Every structure is written in structure tokens, then in C-alpha cells.
Amino acid sequence: MHSSLPLMVSLPFVGALLAAWSGTQGRLWSAWVSGGVALASLGLLFGPALAVMQGETLLWQATWVPQIGLDLGFRLDGLSLLFALMILGIGLLVVLYARYYLADQDPMGRFYAYLMLFMGAMLGLVTSENLIQMAIFWELTSITSFLLVSYWRHRSEARQGARMALAITGAGGLALLGGLLLLGQIVGSYQLSDVLAAADSIKASPLYLPALLLILLGVFTKSAQFPFHFWLPHAMAAPTPVSAYLHSATMVKAGVFLLARLFPALSDTAAWTWIVAPVGLATLVLGAYTALFKHDLKGLLAYSTISHLGLITLLFGIGTPLAAVAAVFHIMNHATFKASLFMAAGIIDHEAGTRDMRRLSGLWHYMPYTGLLAMVAAAAMAGVPLLNGFLSKEMFFEKTVFMAELTDSAWLLPVFATLAGAFAVAYSLRFIHDVFFGGAPTELPRIPHEPTRWMKVPVEILVVICVAVGILPGLTFGPLLYLAAGATLQGPLPEFSLSVWHGFTPALGMSVLALLGGVAIYAVRRPLFRLHEQSFGRFDARALFIALESALLGLAAWLDQRLHRPSLQRMLAVILLAAVAVVVAGLWPSLRDGTLSGPLPLTPPDPVSIAAMLCLVVGAVGTVVLHRERWTALVMLSVVGLIVALAFVKLSAPDLALTQLSVEMVTIVLLLLALYFLPKHTPRESSLPRRLRDLTLAGAVGLTAAALVWAVLTRPYQSIAGWFLDNSVPGGGGTNVVNVILVDFRGFDTLGEITVLAIAAVGIYMLLQGLRLDAPRADAQGRPWSWDTHPLILATFARLLLPLALLVAVFILLRGHNLPGGGFIAGLVVAVALVMQYLANGITWTRPRISGQLHPLIGIGLLLSTATGLGSWYFDRPFLTSAHGHFHLPLIGDLELATAMLFDLGVLMVVVGITLVILIRLGELDALEYPPARGRRRVMAARAQLRRGGGH
């Protein structure tokens, strides 16, 4: 086990926290911390690197979520070693460079924290053994790159560039995840070792093509391949150290890294070649061509990077072992010269104040040393001999010629390769000539000069590597290349020689041709610029992306308006329609074979039932038809309630009938009180088609419900009800089974329901508190409500009735356990009696006589019921276990008492409490006292006076 691997990966994450924290302590601390962390990680890499040099593949594993095949696993072989070295080495240089690059007002801690996060993510990506873990780090690089690109968050191009990069690479990352999951599904394991060993079964699988396509989508987006390349130039809004690090050496290489990593498992099929190679070629040519026309130094470098990434992709696409070797070699070379060029561009920008090549010129005079460094690096980019770029480009040319010899149609390959090479020479020339030569600068914002010593050191180091590799490839990159290429191929390496001179080969000819052609293209650049600006130059990827994004958002908004219109009618229609649909779908088999009806014979209809049913129908239909006449509709509704109560009587359910009757009374009266505040007439709001639609829907719902009821009623009824009948007396101590069920067998339901009542009371209290409504003082014709406000007879009788009603309530409560009655009904009886007082005597009379502070009644009632339930704990019984016994009380006589009665008393209190809350609250709504004034005007005057006086 090589625990230094996870340590090396996690160190930068810790470093990010440290950098963020130290950034608050002093400007430069975070730079020192980051440098130290990168160095420490590099140190940790040393030991494992030695082992890899010996030909070992190091693995470190720990379980994480083994059930889904996701375990932590780090792997260090030649390929990951190469990338780890690049990430840490160039990272170290970038840390140094950025310390001098960032301005005083840039928050250092944040920058270095993001940079360290990215470094950790990238290290994790290249050393992942587990594919899902790899996907995790992959997306982490996208997220951290978003943070780095948007570092200057006040700049809109930075924000937009960051979002574009995240959208594209994030999309690719998601596709990659899908692809890797499929790959894991084929192989049966997410371990890279298993995947690499299962190449044959992967390629034979029917899932190979979808997996390949999804993975390649990830690769192409990340490595900025055509047609996904356009995010990269816009990511150049990032600070230059970020571009040097992410956009040349590391993140954009993640895509080609994955090509290399999965090369043995996925390559060597027609699909691979025919997708990867053309995409690479298109990117190579397009990138090289476009780079020449970019006036921004970093834009030029961005397209150059795209082109070189295309080259690498093309090499992997060619798919021969030698091509893969060349690809790996070019990854190394490109990283060195491109990172140094970005840094040089940053220095120019930093010192001269602009990156626009149309404004820059003659900088050689001011900064010859930087010029020299840039020149060497640009020459490497152009592929000039004795520099590293030349070597890998030569290898590339060689492969294209080889392909051309192999297949007839591939003759285009060397042609395009040479063309791209020529453009590379041209844009490299431009980079040097436009900036450092061509007369003294005239339009610079400030006088340029050489940067600080230490800002140049990173560039120097990289340039020295370019030269050293270019001259002595075998001694410098050689060993690492052998290791990395060997790990890429996972097999024996093909024969190849790393030397500057290979004799007169076609590749050499192509190189010469490219050099000469490049010079020629540069010579005629001005007419070319004009031509480009009139043709391809008009294409603006950013505008396209913004247009695409706003089209997407527009489409979403359009759909959203249609989908999520906040219309209650629509919501209800959808629900009811869905209900009809699922019930019909469920009943469908029985509708088809006609078994909807059960075996029971139908009861013959009797005239009373028919009449009652007709009344019911009339009441229901009347409520709907007259719904705009609220008072009348309410009366119709009460007809429905009364018929239902009668139906209960007929079906021998006196308890239910009593409940229904009293509920009906209380609710109708309370509704009337509420209606008082609403206008008497509702305007007609629905059009005829709409009402027809609603009628159809309502009819369908009614029919569906009727079908369900029909089906149930025609089937024999076998339920647990018999048990309740048998156990009511022995178990519950009451002969009224309904009540015993309510307070004992299913007392918990009742407790829940009175809780609902209590919550409703709280809600009503909350809603109506402080609310003042203008109730109409007169009806539509201007007539006042009534002159005879409180009929004397009614008032007197209501007062007399109250104690009687309360007595009845107590009676109903006490007998409830054995005969029809119970706490709920008793509570409603009390409520009716109280409502009567309000109706008969008016609020003015009633209010002072009923305490406004009766709300605790609800809480106490609820507490009483709950406490009764808890009492059974004392007897070591479950919650709500009841006890009952037979008692002889003086005056009253023999009595069967049960603890359930206490429970029932709680129910009573809650019911009375909520009725009172509603009554009192609704009564208080209206600021003015009954009887009303004789005209609207006086009411208004009185009201205004009240308001002036600050309410009542």
C-alpha cells in the first residue's frame, strides 16, 4: 500500500483551506503556503516515482461505498506519473508567477485557494484507479475552473466565459459519467485495472458504442475539440496564470489524458478511428487557421492550444501504438512551450498594459530578455528544429504519411497536417514579430520594461526544458516518455527512436514545407486578415452561445408559462382527470369482461328512498347551478346535508345522523356569518365552453365514483366490523359501538381529528386576528339588512334555552358510551346553543357575556384527551387503553363509567372551543356595531371617525 499517493492528492485540498485562511493574514502568505504545499506534494511523489521507474504500477485502495462499486483507489503508473509531474511542476511555477502577476487589489487568498483546489482535483483525476472517482475529480476540475475563470467577478466577460466553460465541460462531464457507468456495467467493475484487462469484452459488447460516444463527448468538450472548442478562447478572461496552468498544461489535457488512459480498452475499432481522428483533424486545422487571425495574444495562444490538442487527438485517433507514443510525447512538449508562452504573454500584458497585437510593437527594445524567451518558446510551437516542438511534430507528420500509405483515402491527412503546420509557423511568427518588432510602439498605455526577476524564472525554466529536450530528447524526456507510453499502451512499446536527425524522410520534407509555407502565409497576412474578417471572422461563438442560452431560457419560460400557470381550476382539473384516468385504468379488466357488478342481488327500490335520492340530486345540482347566488346555494347545500342525515337514520345509524345534523347546523350558520362579508352576487366568470368542459369533467368524476360505489355495494361485505360488535361491551364497556369505536377502539383517530380541529382554530385565530372587513351594510338594492334586528321572542327563548341545551349536552355526553351520543355530538349541541345566542341577541349583547378568553378550552380539551391516554401508562398499558367499571352513584343511580368518557369530555371541549373561536373572530371582523346606520354615508362617516380614533 502506498499511502503517499492519497496524501499527495489530498495535500492540495488542505492547502486550499490553508491558503484561504492565510490570505486573511497577509497578502503573500497564501503564495508561500501554496508553493510549500505544491513542493510537499512533489516530495511525496518522489518515492512512488522511483518505484514506477522500476516498472511498478502502484495501487492504493480503501473502501468507501463498496456496494455500488465506488471505492477510493489511486494508481500511479507511467502515464499518471507524467501528468502528476506536469501538474505539480508547472503548478509550482504558476504559483511563483502568479505571486508577481496579481495586482494589489486582487484577493490573493481566494486565488490560491482556488488554484490549490484545482491542483488537487487534477492530481486526483490523473491518479484515479476507480472510474467513478475519476468522474468525481473530472467534474471537480470543471467547478474549480469555473471559480478560477470568474476570479475577476466584476468583469462580465469573466462571468460569461466561466459560465460557458462550465456549461460545456459540465455537459461533457455528465456524458462522461454516463459513459463510465455503461463501461462499468459491461466490465462488471469500475476498477481501471479490470477495465483495461477487459478490452475484448468491451469492444464486443452492444453497449460499446453508446459508452464510447458518451465518453468521447466528455473528452472532446474538456479538450476543446471541434465543435465544442469555442469555450476555451472565452475562458481566456481568466487571469493569465490560470490560462498558463489550466488552458495549456493541465485541464484541457484531461480529455486527451482520458484518451490515453482508456486507449487499450476502447481503441482499435472502426468507430474509434472514424470518430476520434476526423474530430482531431478538424480541430487541428481549424485551430491553426483561426489562431493566426486573433489579435489578442491570449486568443492566439488559445486557438493554438486547440489546434495542438486536435493534433494529439488525431494521433490517438490514428490508433497505432507509434501514434500513441507520439501523442504522449506531444502532450509533454506542448505543456512546456505553451505554458511558457502564456506566461510570456502575461508578462507583456502586465508590463505593456495590453495584449492586442495591433497596438503592440517594437517591445524588443524595452524587454529583450523576455523577447528572447518568448522567441524560443514560439519557435518550439512552430516546430523549429533543435526545439522540442519539432520532434513531436515530426513524429506526427511521419504518422500521417504512414496512414496515407496504408489507406487510399487518407492522402488528405499529410496535406492537412502540413497546412496546419504552416499556419502554426505563421501564427508563431506573428506572436514574435508583431509584438517585439515592427517599429516603436505608439499606442501603449504605459512604457513597458522588463518584469521583476522572479517573474521570469518560471518562463526561463520552461524554455530551458524546451531547448534541452529539443537537443537531447533521449536524455531528458526519454525515460519518462518510455514509462508514460508504456502505461498508455499497457503492453510492449513499439520501436522508435528519439533523435533530432532521422535522415531525409517525407516528414522532414513536410516540416520544411510547413516552415516555408508559414513564412509565406505571414508575408501575405494583411489581405488574409481582410478576407478572414469578411468570411469566417464574422462567426462569433460567444454571441452564438448567448443566443443559444437565451433561446433555451426563452423556450423554458414559454413552456413554463404553459405548464406552471398558477391556476387553481387547472390544478383541480388535472387532479380530477388523473383520478378518473387511474380508476378507469384499474377497472378496465372488469369493465371489459363485465365483472364490475358483484354477485349480490340488487335491493328493490322503495318510494321513500327514491324521493330522498331525488332530493339529494336536486340539492347537489342546485348548489352547483345556483352557486353564484350564495345564500340560495347554501340553502341547497343544507338540503344535501339533511338528506344525508336522514339516510343515516334509515340505515340505523342514529349516532351518525345526530352528528351530521348538528354539524350541518353549526357549519351552515358559520358559513352564513362568513357570507355576510361577501358580496351578494358573483359575476358570471366562466364562458360556455369552459362550463361545458367542467360539466364533462364533473360528470366523469361522478360516474367514476358511482362505479366504485356500485362495485363495492354489489359485493358481499366481509369486514372486521363484527369483531367490534362483539367486543364493544366486554372490551370497551359500552353498548354504543359507534362511540366505543370513536373513543376506544379507534380513539387515536379521534385524538388526531380533534388535533386537526385545534390546529384549524389556531389557523383561524391567526388569519382573522387584526383583520377588518368592510361588510356591506345593505344589499344590492340598497336595502338595509333588517330593521327588526333582534326579535324579542327569539332573544328571550334563546336565553332560556341555553341552560337546557347545556343540560342536554351533558346528558348526551354521559349516555354516549351506551346510547347514541358522545362528546362530539354534545360539543356540537353546546355550540348550537351558543350560536343561537349570537343570532338571537347580537354580538353586542353576547360578547360581554361570553368570555373572549375561551380559547384555552381547546388546549385544555386536547390535553385532557391526551392525558387520559397517558394515564394508561401508569397501569403499564399502551397509550389510550381504557378502563371501565360499574358504579352506583347517589341520585343518578347505576352507571357504567369508562375512562373513555374523560377522553370524550376533551373532545367536547375542543369542539366547543373551535366554534367559539370562529364565532368570536367572525363577530369581531366588522368594526361597526349592529344595527346599521340608515345610509351608506353615515356608515362611512362613523367608520372614518373610528379610524381617526385608532380603532375601537
Partner 1 sequence: MTQLLQQHLVIAPLLVPLLGGILLLLMRGSATPLRRLVSMLSVQLLFGVALLLLLTVSDGRTLVYALGGWPAPFGIVLVADRLAAMLVLLTALLALFAMMHAIQGSDRSGRQFHVLFQFQLLGLNGAFLTGDLFNLFVFFEVLLIASYGLLLHGGGPDRSRAGLHYVVVNLVGSSLFLFAVGTLYGVLGTLNMADMAVRVAALPPADRALVQAAGLLLCLVFALKAALAPLHLWLPRAYAAAGPAAAAIFAVMTKVGAYALVRVSTLIFGPGGELDGLVEPWLLSLGLVTIVVGSIGVLASRQLGLLVSHLVVVSAGTLLTAFGIGGAAAVSAGLYYLLHSTLVAAALFLLTDNVAAARGRCADRIAAGPLLPAANLLGGLFLVLAVAVVGLPPLSGFLGKVMVLQAGLSSPWMPWILAVVLVSSLLTLVAVTRAGSALFFKTDPDAGSATLPNMADLVPVMALGGLGILLVIYAGPVYAFVAATAAQLLDPAAYVGAVLGAAPDAVPVVAPDMAQGAVATPEVNLP
Q: Which of residues 149-168 bind partner 1 (CB under 8 A)?
A: 150, 153-154, 156, 159, 162-163, 166-167
17 forms part of the interface with partner 1 (CB under 8 A)? no
Q: For the window 800-839, what string marks contact with partner 1 as x by the rule CB under 8 A?
A: ----------------------------------------
Least Å from the CB of residue 584 to partner 1: 8
Cα–Cα distance for residue pair 214/228, rounded to 1 Å: 14
568 forms part of the interface with partner 1 (CB under 8 A)? yes
The backbone torsions φ and ψ at residue 205, rounded to the nearest 5 degrees and listed phi first, read: -75, 145
Tell which one of 55, 188, 803, 856 touches partner 1 (CB under 8 A).
Answer: 856
Q: Which residues in 58-97 contact partner 1 (CB under 8 A)?
A: 63-70
Q: Which residues in 195-224 contact partner 1 (CB under 8 A)?
A: 210
Q: Which residues in 864-883 contact partner 1 (CB under 8 A)?
A: 866, 870, 872-873, 875-883
- Assigned C-alpha cell, 380: 518550439
- Binding segment for partner 1 among 524-532, 584-592, 633-641, 772-780 (CB under 8 A)? 584-592
Amino acid at 349: D
Least Å from the CB of residue 653 to partner 1: 15
Pick the closer one to partner 1 by CB: 639 or 863: 863
Cα–Cα distance for residue pair 760/924, rounded to 1 Å: 18
Cα 820 to the center of its chain, rounded Å: 56
The backbone torsions φ and ψ at residue 743, rounded to the nearest 5 degrees and listed phi first, read: -105, -10
Pick the closer one to partner 1 by CB: 185 or 667: 185
Cα–Cα distance for residue pair 539/547, rounded to 1 Å: 13
Helix-strand-coil split of the chain, %, nearest 5: 75, 5, 25
Q: Which residues in 680-709 contact partner 1 (CB under 8 A)?
A: 705, 708
- Binding segment for partner 1 among 74-82, 392-400, 602-610, 884-892 (CB under 8 A)? 884-892
* Residues in binding contact with partner 1, number by CB under 8 A: 136
Pick the closer one to partner 1 by CB: 411 or 723: 723
Tell which one of 39, 47, 110, 772 touches partner 1 (CB under 8 A).
Answer: 110
Tell which one of 563, 602, 688, 793 touches partner 1 (CB under 8 A).
Answer: 563
Q: How many CB atoms lie within 10 A of CB 481?
A: 26
- Assigned C-alpha cell, 758: 385545534
Residues 6+ apart with CB under 8 A from 200: none
- Assigned C-alpha cell, 863: 390535553
- Binding segment for partner 1 among 57-65, 227-235, 357-365, 629-637 (CB under 8 A)? 57-65
Q: What is the largest CA-CA distance in the chain?
A: 130
Pick the closer one to partner 1 by CB: 635 or 762: 762
719 forms part of the interface with partner 1 (CB under 8 A)? yes
Pick the closer one to partner 1 by CB: 443 or 749: 749
Q: Where are the alpha helices (DSSP H) in 771-855?
A: 792-815, 823-846
849 forms part of the interface with partner 1 (CB under 8 A)? no
Handedness of CA 906, 909, 914, 917 (dihedral sign): negative
Least Å from the CB of residue 543 to partner 1: 17
Residues 6+ apart with CB under 8 A from 300: 291, 292, 294, 357, 427, 430, 431
Pick the closer one to partner 1 by CB: 146 or 226: 146
Cα–Cα distance for residue pair 100/361, rounded to 1 Å: 24
Pick the closer one to partner 1 by CB: 24 or 796: 24
Least Å from the CB of residue 161 to partner 1: 11
Pick the closer one to partner 1 by CB: 102 or 166: 166
Pick the closer one to partner 1 by CB: 539 or 588: 588
Q: Where are the alpha helices (DSSP H) in 319-387?
A: 321-352, 368-382
Q: Which residues in 165-194 contact partner 1 (CB under 8 A)?
A: 166-167, 170-171, 173-175, 177-178, 181-182, 185
Pick the closer one to partner 1 by CB: 293 or 724: 724
Pick the closer one to partner 1 by CB: 386 or 708: 708
- Assigned C-alpha cell, 459: 518562463
- Binding segment for partner 1 among 288-296, 563-571, 663-671, 817-825 (CB under 8 A)? 563-571
Q: For the window 631-670, what string marks contact with partner 1 as x by the rule CB under 8 A?
A: ----------------------------------------
Pick the closer one to partner 1 by CB: 491 or 878: 878
Q: Which residues in 521-550 contact partner 1 (CB under 8 A)?
A: 549
In sequence order, the β-bridge partners of residue 889 are 893
- Assigned C-alpha cell, 358: 495591433
Cα–Cα distance for residue pair 173/481, rounded to 1 Å: 28
Cα–Cα distance for residue pair 759/107, rounded to 1 Å: 53
- Asked whether the beta carbons of 786 and 868 are under 8 A apart, the reply is no
Pick the closer one to partner 1 by CB: 218 or 470: 218
Tell which one of 105, 407, 769, 945 touches partner 1 (CB under 8 A).
Answer: 769
Tell which one of 767, 800, 941, 944 touches partner 1 (CB under 8 A).
Answer: 767
Q: Which residues in 730-759 contact partner 1 (CB under 8 A)?
A: 730-731, 733, 744-749, 752-753, 755-756, 758-759
371 forms part of the interface with partner 1 (CB under 8 A)? no
The verdict on whether omega for the bond into residue 12 sits within 30 degrees of 0, i.e. cis, is no
Least Å from the CB of residue 711 to partner 1: 5
Least Å from the CB of residue 232 to partner 1: 18
Q: Which residues in 372-431 contact partner 1 (CB under 8 A)?
A: none
587 forms part of the interface with partner 1 (CB under 8 A)? yes
CA 313 vs CA 271, 290, 461, 539: distances in Å: 14, 18, 27, 24
715 forms part of the interface with partner 1 (CB under 8 A)? yes
For the chain, helix (H) and strand (E) counts, in that order, are 37, 4
SS (H, E, C) 120-173: HHHHHHHHECEHHHHHHHHHHHHHHHHHHHCCCCCCHHHHHHHHHHHHHHHHHH
Cα 120 to the center of its chain, rounded Å: 25
Pick the closer one to partner 1 by CB: 716 or 950: 716
Least Å from the CB of residue 728 to partner 1: 10
Tell which one of 86, 98, 108, 140 touches partner 1 (CB under 8 A).
Answer: 140
- Assigned C-alpha cell, 192: 481501471
Handedness of CA 780, 784, 789, 793 (dihedral sign): negative
Residue 898 is given by DSSP the state E
The backbone torsions φ and ψ at residue 711, rounded to the nearest 5 degrees and listed phi first, read: -65, -40
Least Å from the CB of residue 169 to partner 1: 11
Least Å from the CB of residue 165 to partner 1: 10
Least Å from the CB of residue 697 to partner 1: 12
600 forms part of the interface with partner 1 (CB under 8 A)? no
Comparing CA positions, the residue from 220, 141, 208, 130 lying closest to residue 175 is 220
Cα–Cα distance for residue pair 898/729, rounded to 1 Å: 11
Cα–Cα distance for residue pair 887/900, rounded to 1 Å: 15
Handedness of CA 650, 655, 658, 662 (dihedral sign): negative
Q: Which residues in 897-936 contact partner 1 (CB under 8 A)?
A: 897, 899
Residues 6+ apart with CB under 8 A from 950: none
Least Å from the CB of residue 915 to partner 1: 16
Tell which one of 415, 440, 553, 608 touches partner 1 (CB under 8 A).
Answer: 553
- Binding segment for partner 1 among 90-98, 331-339, 555-563, 691-699 (CB under 8 A)? 555-563
Least Å from the CB of residue 32 to partner 1: 22
Say which residue the cell 358559513 belongs to: 671
The backbone torsions φ and ψ at residue 450, rounded to the nearest 5 degrees and listed phi first, read: -65, 145
